[in-house]
C-alpha cells in the first residue's frame, strides 16, 4: 500500500530557480518521487506533500519509485533490471544516504546512494541542477562487487513521475532529408516507446528528444511542459507509461534492445545523462531554458564565436582538383565568408574516393586531385584570405579500401554472414581500443601536420548492420561500448584541441543530441537544404538546441530565391554551399551585404532568447524573434510557407520578449537590391507594450516571401 508521509521521512529536494524535484525516503528506505513542478517558497513544506495524495493507493507503493528495480514486487516498467552473479534475477534498492554539493557557480549536484540489502550491488542517482537555466541533468552509476560479472538487462538514466489530468506527448519522426516532423498525441494508459536501434547514431527515424504537455495540449507561451532529451548518440529508448492510477512515468535511457550489459565486479557503469526542464510558460519557456543551458554548460564555445563558411559539396561533389578549389577559395573571399570547407572526395589512392563506394579509411590525400597535399591547400586558402577546413568520416570504412584489406578485424561484421552496407560502407569497431587510437590518430595527425587547419566537419553516414565485434568479449556490450569508444576519442581530441570548431554531421541530422554536442561546436540539421523545408526542420530542432549550433547553409536545393534562402539561414549559423561564380550580380551583391549585416546581428540571434510567434503548421507564415538578454535589440524573421491566393501576414503579429517600457524602432534588413521597403520609410517608434499587445505586420505576402526586421531600443 502507498506509504504515508511520516515525521521521520527524509525529503531530498533538487531545486533550480523555478523548479523542484522532491524525493521522499520512507522508514522502509524506499525512495519515491513526490513532486516535480514549481518549487515551493518554503522548503519545509515539501514534507507536507501527502505521499499518496494525487496518485491514490497502489499495490506496491513504488509506482512512483525514484529508480524502479525489477524482480521483487514491481508491477510496472522498470528503470533497472539485473541478473546477479548467482543467477538471481531480482533487485531491491534501498536508500543509504544522500549528499548535495555546489560544484560550480549555479550548479548543484545531489547524489542519492541506493543499495541492495542482499547483494553487494549499488546504484547512485545523480541530479545536477543548473539553477539559473532551470535544467536538471540526471544519470545513474551502477557498481557491484559480486564474485562474478552481473548482467544489466536494463539500465535507464532516469525515472520521472508526474501526476496530471492528461498528458500530451510531442515527439518527432522522419527519415533522411526529412528530419524532425512533430506529432502530438495524447498518452493513454499503457506504454508508448520511442526508440532507435541504429548503433552509431540516435536519429534517422526518431530523435531522443520530446515534450510532454500536462493537462492540455502544448502551447507556445502557456501551460506546463516537461521537455527532455537524452544525451546519447546511440540506441535509445524513451518509455512513457501512464500507470493504472493515471500518473505519468517517464523512463529514458539506453535501449535495452540487444544490449544486456555484462558488468565485471568493481567496474563502474555510468548511464548517459537525461536532461529535462519543467516550464509553466509553455514550449517556449522550455526551449529557452535548454538554449541558455546548452550555450553556457554544454556546447564548446557556446557563448563564443562561429565562422561563416563556403562548402564545396553541392558545388563539386567528388569532382574537383587544386585548380577548381583555388577558384572556390577566391570566390569564398569575394563573397565574404571566414572559411572554406573541403568536403568528401579528397583522399584515397589505391581506391580513390571518386564516388561513395571506395576509399573511406584511407585518409591520405589523393595524389591526382591534390598533388601538392593538404598543407599546400591550407596555405593557398590562407593566402586567398580565408581559413581552410576539412571533411572527415573517421568511424567508417569502405569495403574497397586499404584499411579494410589490412585490418578486417577492425570492422563491425558477422563472421558467417554476408556484409550489408549502408551507403556502401561499414563501421569501424570503436569498442576496440586499437581502433580508437587509429581514429584519434587520423585527426591528430591532420592537425599536427596542418596546425592552422581551421575547422573539421565530422560525418557519420552509416548505421551498424550485422553487429559483431572481432575482439569484444560480450557481444551484447557492443552497442554501448561503440558509443563510449567514440566519446573517448572525442574527449581526447577535445582535451588536445579545446577550441577547434567542429561540425557534427550524420548523413544529415542523425546525431543532433547533447551526448555528441559536448564535443562539437555545431551540428548539421539535415541534408535537406531547401529553404522552405528548413523553416520547418529548424523550427523543430529549436525546441531543444540553440541557434548558435545550427549550421544553416544556402544551397541550390529548392526553388526559393536567394533572399529567402539567406534569411532562413540567418536563423542560425550561416554558411554557403553554392557556386558563387554562378550568382547573378544582384545576387552576389545581396549576399555580400547580407554577410555584413549578419556580422552585426549574429550575436542577437545566437545568444538572444527565442520566441516563436506564428507556427508554420497553423499559419500562412512562420514567425520567430530573437531578443537580446538586455531587451535592447531583437531580430525578427517571418517567412511565407503557404502559396495560396492572399496567403501572407494579413494582420499584425504580436511580438514577445521585449521590454514593455522601452521604445523601439523597426527597420527592415536584407532588402534586395532594387527593392524598397515601406517599413523603412516609417520612422515611428513603438513601445514594447504596444508591440506585444497589438503587434506589427511584417507585410509578408507572395511578393515579399521573407522579411527580416531589426528592432532597436530608442534611447
Cβ atoms 531, 569 nearer than 8 A: yes
CB of residue 343 vs ligand GLA: minimum separation in angstroms? Answer: 5
* 241/343 with CB nearer ligand GLA: 343
Distance from C-alpha of 390 to C-alpha of 377, rounded to nearest angstrom? 11
* 91/464 with CB nearer ligand GLA: 464
- Tell me how many helices (H) and strands (E) the chain has: 12, 36
3-state secondary structure of 549: helix
Of the candidates 709, 693, 626, the residue with the CA atom closest to the CA atom of residue 660: 693
* 356/556 with CB nearer ligand GLA: 356
Distance from C-alpha of 690 to C-alpha of 295, rounded to nearest angstrom? 31
Residue 298 per-residue DSSP state: I
Annotated active-site residue in 459, 530, 577, 713: 459
Phi (first) and psi of residue 686, to 5 degrees: -135, 145
Distance from C-alpha of 414 to C-alpha of 359, rounded to nearest angstrom? 22
| DSSP secondary structure, 244-263, as one string | TTSEEEEEEEE--TT-PEEE
Tell the residue number behind the cell numbers 507585410, with chain if given: 699
Is 659 tagged catalytic?
no
* 421/617 with CB nearer ligand GLA: 421
Cβ atoms 160, 148 nearer than 8 A: no
Cβ atoms 214, 225 nearer than 8 A: yes
**Helices marked H in 101-246 — which ranges?**
none
CB of residue 422 vs ligand GLA: minimum separation in angstroms? Answer: 12
* 160-163 β-sheet, strand order: 160-163, 247-254, 236-242, 190-195
CB of residue 378 vs ligand GLA: minimum separation in angstroms? Answer: 19
* 208/575 with CB nearer ligand GLA: 575
CB of residue 313 vs ligand GLA: minimum separation in angstroms? Answer: 5
Return the number of other C-beta atoms located less than 10 Å from residue 413's C-beta. 22
* Residue 584, CB-side half-sphere exposure with 13 Å CA sphere: 7
Of the candidates 188, 165, 280, the residue with the CA atom closest to the CA atom of residue 242: 188
CB of residue 607 vs ligand GLA: minimum separation in angstroms? Answer: 26
Phi (first) and psi of residue 464, to 5 degrees: -90, 115
CB of residue 506 vs ligand GLA: minimum separation in angstroms? Answer: 7
CB of residue 512 vs ligand GLA: minimum separation in angstroms? Answer: 12
Distance from C-alpha of 291 to C-alpha of 293, rounded to nearest angstrom? 5
Annotated active-site residue in 243, 331, 513, 527: 527
Return the number of other C-beta atoms located less than 10 Å from residue 120's C-beta. 15
Cβ atoms 526, 473 nearer than 8 A: no
By beta-carbon distance, which residue lies closest to ligand GLA?
344
* 26/459 with CB nearer ligand GLA: 459
Distance from C-alpha of 648 to C-alpha of 348, rounded to nearest angstrom? 51
* 460/604 with CB nearer ligand GLA: 460
CB of residue 295 vs ligand GLA: minimum separation in angstroms? Answer: 25
Distance from C-alpha of 529 to C-alpha of 537, rounded to nearest angstrom? 10
* 134/344 with CB nearer ligand GLA: 344
Cβ atoms 269, 263 nearer than 8 A: yes
CB of residue 317 vs ligand GLA: minimum separation in angstroms? Answer: 8
* 253/361 with CB nearer ligand GLA: 361
3-state secondary structure of 21: strand
Strand partners, 194: 238
* 58/343 with CB nearer ligand GLA: 343
Q: Interface with ligand GLA by CB under 6 A: which residues?
A: 313, 343-344, 356, 391, 459, 461, 505, 507-508, 527
* 31-38 β-sheet, strand order: 10-15, 19-25, 31-38
Is 459 tagged catalytic?
yes
Distance from C-alpha of 411 to C-alpha of 403, rounded to nearest angstrom? 10
Strand partners, 696: 653
Of the candidates 587, 682, 584, 697, the residue with the CA atom closest to the CA atom of residue 638: 697
CB of residue 486 vs ligand GLA: minimum separation in angstroms? Answer: 18
| DSSP secondary structure, 505-546, as one string | -BTTBTT-STTGGGT-SEE---S---HHHHHHHHHHHTTTS-
CB of residue 404 vs ligand GLA: minimum separation in angstroms? Answer: 18
Distance from C-alpha of 684 to C-alpha of 661, rounded to nearest angstrom? 16
* 167/347 with CB nearer ligand GLA: 347
Active-site residue list: 459, 527
Amino acid at each position: 500500500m502507498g506509504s504515508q508521509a511520516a515525521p521521520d521521512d527524509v525529503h531530498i529536494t533538487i531545486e533550480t530557480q523555478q523548479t523542484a524535484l522532491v524525493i521522499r525516503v520512507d522508514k522502509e528506505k524506499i525512495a519515491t518521487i513526490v513532486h516535480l513542478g514549481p518549487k515551493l517558497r518554503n522548503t519545509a513544506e515539501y514534507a507536507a506533500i501527502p505521499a499518496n495524495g494525487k496518485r491514490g493507493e497502489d499495490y506496491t507503493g513504488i509506482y512512483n519509485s525514484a529508480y524502479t528495480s525489477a524482480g521483487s514486487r514491481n508491477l510496472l516498467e522498470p528503470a533497472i533490471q539485473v541478473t546477479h552473479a548467482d543467477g538471481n534475477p531480482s533487485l531491491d534498492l534501498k536508500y543509504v544516504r544522500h549528499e548535495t554539493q555546489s560544484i560550480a557557480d549555479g550548479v548543484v549536484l545531489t547524489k542519492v546512494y541506493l543499495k541492495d540489502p542482499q547483494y553487494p550491488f549499488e546504484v547512485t542517482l545523480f541530479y545536477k541542477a543548473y539553477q539559473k537555466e532551470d535544467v536538471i541533468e540526471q544519470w545513474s552509476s551502477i557498481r557491484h562487487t559480486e564474485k562474478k560479472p552481473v548482467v544489466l538487462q536494463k539500465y535507464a538514466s532516469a525515472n520521472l513521475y508526474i501526476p496530471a489530468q492528461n498528458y500530451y506527448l510531442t515527439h518527432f519522426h522522419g527519415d533522411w532529408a526529412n528530419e524532425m516532423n512533430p506529432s502530438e498525441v495524447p498518452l493513454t494508459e499503457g506504454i508508448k516507446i520511442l526508440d532507435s536501434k541504429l548503433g552509431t547514431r540516435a536519429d534517422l527515424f526518431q530523435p531522443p528528444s520530446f515534450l510532454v504537455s500536462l493537462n492540455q495540449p502544448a502551447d507556445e507561451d502557456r501551460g506546463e511542459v516537461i521537455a527532455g532529451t537524452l544525451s546519447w548518440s546511440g540506441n535509445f529508448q524513451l518509455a512513457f507509461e501512464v500507470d493504472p492510477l493515471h500518473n505519468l512515468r517517464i523512463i529514458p535511457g539506453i535501449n535495452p534492445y540487444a544490449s544486456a550489459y555484462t558488468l565485471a565486479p568493481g567496474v563502474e557503469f555510468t548511464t548517459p545523462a537525461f536532461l529535462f526542464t519543467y516550464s509553466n510558460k509553455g514550449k517556449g519557456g522550455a526551449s529557452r531554458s535548454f538554449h541558455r543551458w546548452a550555450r553556457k554548460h554544454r556546447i564548446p564555445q557556446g557563448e563564443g564565436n562561429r565562422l561563416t563558411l563556403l562548402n564545396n559539396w553541392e558545388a563539386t561533389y567528388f569532382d574537383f582538383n587544386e585548380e577548381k578549389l583555388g577558384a572556390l577559395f577566391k570566390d569564398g573571399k569575394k563573397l565574404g565568408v571566414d572559411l572554406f570547407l573541403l568536403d568528401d572526395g579528397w583522399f584515397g589512392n589505391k581506391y580513390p574516393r571518386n564516388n561513395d563506394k571506395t576509399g573511406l579509411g584511407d585518409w591520405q590525400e589523393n595524389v591526382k586531385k591534390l598533388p601538392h597535399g593538404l598543407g599546400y591547400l591550407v596555405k593557398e586558402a590562407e593566402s586567398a584570405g580565408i581559413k581552410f577546413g576539412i571533411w572527415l568520416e573517421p568511424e567508417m570504412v569502405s569495403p574497397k579500401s586499404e584499411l579494410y584489406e589490412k585490418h578486417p578485424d577492425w570492422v563491425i561484421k558477422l563472421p558467417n554472414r554476408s556484409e550489408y552496407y549502408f551507403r556502401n560502407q561499414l563501421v569501424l569497431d570503436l569498442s576496440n581500443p586499437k581502433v580508437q587510437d587509429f581514429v584519434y590518430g587520423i585527426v591528430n595527425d591532420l592537425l599536427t601536420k596542418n596546425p592552422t587547419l581551421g575547422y573539421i566537419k565530422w560525418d557519420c553516414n552509416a548505421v551498424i548492420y550485422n553487429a559483431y565485434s572481432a575482439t569484444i568479449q560480450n557481444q551484447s556490450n557492443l552497442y554501448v561500448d561503440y558509443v563510449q569508444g567514440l566519446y573517448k576519442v572525442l574527449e581526447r581530441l577535445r582535451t588536445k584541441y579545446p577550441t577547434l570548431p567542429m561540425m557534427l554531421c550524420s548523413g544529415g541530422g542523425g546525431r543532433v543530441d547533447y551526448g555528441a554536442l559536448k564535443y562539437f561546436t555545431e551540428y548539421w540539421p539535415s541534408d535537406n537544404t531547401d529553404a522552405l523545408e528548413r523553416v520547418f526542420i529548424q523550427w523543430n530542432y529549436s525546441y531543444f538546441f540553440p541557434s548558435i549550433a545550427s549550421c544553416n547553409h544556402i544551397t541550390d536545393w529548392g526553388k526559393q530565391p536567394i533572399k529567402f534562402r539567406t534569411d532562413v539561414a540567418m536563423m542560425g549559423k550561416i554558411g554557403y554551399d553554392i557556386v558563387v561564380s554562378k550568382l547573378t550580380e544582384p545576387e552576389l551583391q545581396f549576399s555580400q551585404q547580407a554577410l555584413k549585416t549578419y556580422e552585426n546581428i549574429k550575436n542577437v540571434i545566437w545568444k538572444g532568447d527565442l520566441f516563436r510567434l506564428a507556427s508554420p503548421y497553423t499559419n500562412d507564415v512562420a514567425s520567430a524573434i530573437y531578443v537580446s538578454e538586455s531587451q535592447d535589440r531583437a531580430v525578427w524573421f517571418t517567412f511565407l510557407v503557404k502559396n495560396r491566393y492572399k496567403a501572407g501576414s494579413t494582420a499584425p503579429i504580436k511580438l514577445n520578449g521585449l521590454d514593455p517600457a522601452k521604445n523601439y524602432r523597426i527597420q527592415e534588413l536584407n532588402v534586395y537590391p532594387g527593392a524598397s521597403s515601406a517599413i523603412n520609410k516609417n520612422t515611428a517608434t513603438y513601445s514594447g507594450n504596444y508591440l506585444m499587445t497589438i503587434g506589427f505586420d511584417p507585410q509578408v505576402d507572395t511578393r515579399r516571401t521573407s522579411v527580416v526586421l531589426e528592432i532597436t531600443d530608442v534611447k
